[in-house]
């Protein structure tokens, strides 16, 4: 749906480059290597053994699983080129109408998909706000400056406001920003990874590498360890589907399906695989971190460090650039900050558009469905989500438990949404002609993979003990509370909506006439 009740339309201004760049910004390999490498190296199996040697192959498995879901999104986009900005919400509507489902089933399914998707699209920007506050705190502390908890909250709120301002002014401004940020982070990760490989082959400090051969970097060592690493790596690759929320603003609908796949190929197939190869090639026995009087080495050191990639960059600069490691680390940290900005902006833009679609159907508060007269953006949604992101970011920056909890909450929402979308694709493509592999097998495998990843992430969180376990329980409880709130809102809304889904007399509100229900 591209217009609202005031006759203001979203403008079709985005070509293939614009749509792809917005999706690429959400995947953001330049940010997530810095953010997640510590978590990946710290992961252990139930016996306590480190799974870090299987980071690269775990990422490869996760990439294969991500392509299954990306394939479903791409096929849905081709099947329904006139879908609006609601992404999976709109796809569910069209798929069930094609099947001839009743209005009750259609409305309930759409609402469930849309409501649960908010656990991803409305929590994720706040998670990134918290990560940015943590990164800025790290940079300030590198200069010997102390940062109080109140100051960290201030950083989170200020960053959320900057992102909200950019999003408020329209998708074109966001796209230009994301193009610049994508270029910056790709140049950065190619440069740093190149230096890591030069260090590996020249070995200027005569270190002992923990993965002695290139085969040790890329080949699996333990099947269970690969699965454990894949549960983290899959979370790095989410965001390709954000292109589908730009359907109403894309000049050509077919560009959206291309952007879904292209963004994953460029950011996942190239950038992630390349940079993680470099990081794994560099890790060595001379890398140490001392904390609480105890010295850790190699992967254990990375697990203890607040920024292991920052440590790596500093080492590379000192060894290869004449002792300028600190300066190089600051440059890379700035590029990472730029990548986080792009990720936060892309997800915020996606989230408000999905909410706009649901609000236009009067399934969420109507003000969230209003477009700005000048910028044609869901501006009230932008303001509200900016405030929500600031609150989540301020909460997440205060402790690792808080940050882990909101990150896991977002991940649960992601897997629920991806799994549901694969099932929607299975229904939508039932009457299509063509490859059984693409129409039937890919959606089923995609749905199954997301269910397995969801169960694995929750299971590992509960088994983790300590902070990890506490974060898992917070996230699971928040998911249950959100589902209960959604059910209550749905019932209350049904008392006045004309759909008569539930046995109440329909009164008052009439659904807007939109492209999807005309």
Alpha carbons within 13 A on the beta-carbon side of 40? 30
Please report the pLDDT score of residue 74 as a whole number.
Answer: 93
Report pTM.
0.85
- Interatomic CA distance for residues 54 and 283, integer angstroms: 13
Please report the pLDDT score of residue 417 as a whole number.
Answer: 93
Please report the pLDDT score of residue 464 as a whole number.
Answer: 66
**Model pLDDT for residues 42-69, shown as the tens digit of each residue:** 888 777 788 999 999 999 999 999 999 9
Please report the pLDDT score of residue 291 as a whole number.
Answer: 86
* CATH class, 16-398 region: mainly alpha
Helix (H) or strand (E) holding 118: helix 103-121
Please report the pLDDT score of residue 503 as a whole number.
Answer: 41
- Structure letter (DSSP) for residue 368: G
- Interatomic CA distance for residues 98 and 8, integer angstroms: 29
Nearest to 407, CA basis, from 186, 184, 134 = 134
The answer to whether the CB of 284 falls within 8 A of the CB of 210 is yes
Please report the pLDDT score of residue 275 as a whole number.
Answer: 95
Query: Could you state, in order of their start, the residue ranges of all structural domains in the chain?
Result: 16-398
Please report the pLDDT score of residue 56 as a whole number.
Answer: 97
**Model pLDDT for residues 123-146, shown as the tens digit of each residue:** 999 999 999 998 999 899 888 888
Q: Residue 504 region, left (φ>0) first, then alpha (ψ -120 to 50), else beta?
A: beta
Please report the pLDDT score of residue 467 as a whole number.
Answer: 67
- Interatomic CA distance for residues 129 and 393, integer angstroms: 5
Cα dihedral sign for 81, 83, 87, 89?
negative
List beta partners, residue 14: 250
Please report the pLDDT score of residue 435 as a whole number.
Answer: 79
All residue ranges of the chain with pLDDT < 50 are 1-2, 5-7, 499-518
């Amino acid at each position: 749906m591209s217009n609202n009740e005031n006759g203001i339309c979203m403008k079709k201004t985005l070509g293939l480059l614009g749509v792809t760049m917005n999706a690429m910004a959400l995947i953001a390999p330049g940010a997530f290597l810095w953010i997640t490498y510590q978590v990946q190296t710290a992961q252990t199996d139930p016996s306590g053994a480190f799974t870090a040697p299987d980071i690269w192959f775990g990422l490869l498995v996760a990439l294969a699983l991500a392509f299954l879901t990306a394939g479903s999104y791409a096929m849905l986009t081709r099947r329904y080129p006139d879908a609006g900005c609601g992404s999976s919400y709109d796809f569910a509507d069209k798929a069930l109408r094609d099947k001839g489902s009743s209005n009750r089933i259609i409305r309930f399914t759409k609402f469930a998909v849309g409501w649960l998707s908010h656990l991803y699209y409305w929590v994720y920007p706040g998670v990134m706000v918290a990560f940015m506050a943590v990164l800025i705190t790290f940079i300030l502390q590198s200069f010997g400056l102390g940062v109080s908890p109140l100051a960290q909250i201030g950083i989170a709120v200020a960053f959320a406001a900057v992102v909200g301002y950019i999003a408020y002014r329209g998708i074109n401004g966001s796209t230009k920003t994301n193009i610049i940020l994508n270029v910056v982070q790709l140049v950065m990760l190619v440069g740093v990874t190149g230096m890591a490989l030069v260090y590996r082959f020249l070995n200027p400090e005569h270190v002992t590498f923990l993965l002695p051969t290139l085969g040790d970097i890329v080949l699996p060592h333990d099947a269970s360890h690969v699965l454990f690493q894949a549960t983290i790596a899959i979370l790095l690759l989410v965001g390709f589907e954000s292109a589908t929320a730009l359907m109403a603003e894309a000049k050509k609908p077919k560009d959206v399906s291309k952007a879904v796949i292209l963004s994953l190929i460029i950011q996942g197939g190239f950038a992630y695989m390349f940079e993680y190869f470099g990081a794994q090639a560099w890790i060595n026995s001379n890398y140490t971190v001392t904390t609480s009087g105890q010295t850790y080495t190699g992967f254990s050191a990375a697990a203890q460090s607040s920024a292991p990639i920052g440590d790596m960059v500093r080492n590379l600069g000192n060894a290869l650039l004449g002792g300028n490691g600190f300066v190089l680390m600051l440059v890379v940290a700035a590029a990472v900050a730029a990548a986080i900005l792009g990720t936060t902006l892309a997800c915020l833009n996606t989230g408000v558009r999905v909410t706009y679609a649901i609000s236009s159907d009067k399934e969420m508060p109507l003000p969230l469905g209003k477009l700005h007269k000048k910028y044609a953006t869901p501006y009230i949604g932008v303001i509200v989500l900016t405030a929500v992101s600031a609150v989540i970011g301020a909460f997440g920056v205060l402790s690792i438990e808080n940050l882990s909890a909101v990150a896991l909450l977002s991940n649960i929402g992601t897997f629920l949404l991806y799994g549901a979308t694969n099932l929607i694709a299975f229904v939508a493509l039932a009457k299509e002609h063509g490859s059984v592999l693409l129409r039937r097998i890919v959606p089923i495998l995609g749905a199954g993979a997301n269910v397995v990843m969801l169960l694995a992430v929750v299971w590992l969180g509960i088994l983790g003990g300590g902070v990890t376990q506490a974060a898992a329980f917070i996230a699971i409880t928040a998911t249950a509370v959100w589902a209960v709130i959604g059910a209550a809102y749905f019932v209350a809304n049904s008392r006045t909506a004309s759909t008569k889904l539930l046995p109440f007399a329909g009164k008052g509100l009439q659904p807007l006439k939109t492209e999807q229900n005309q």
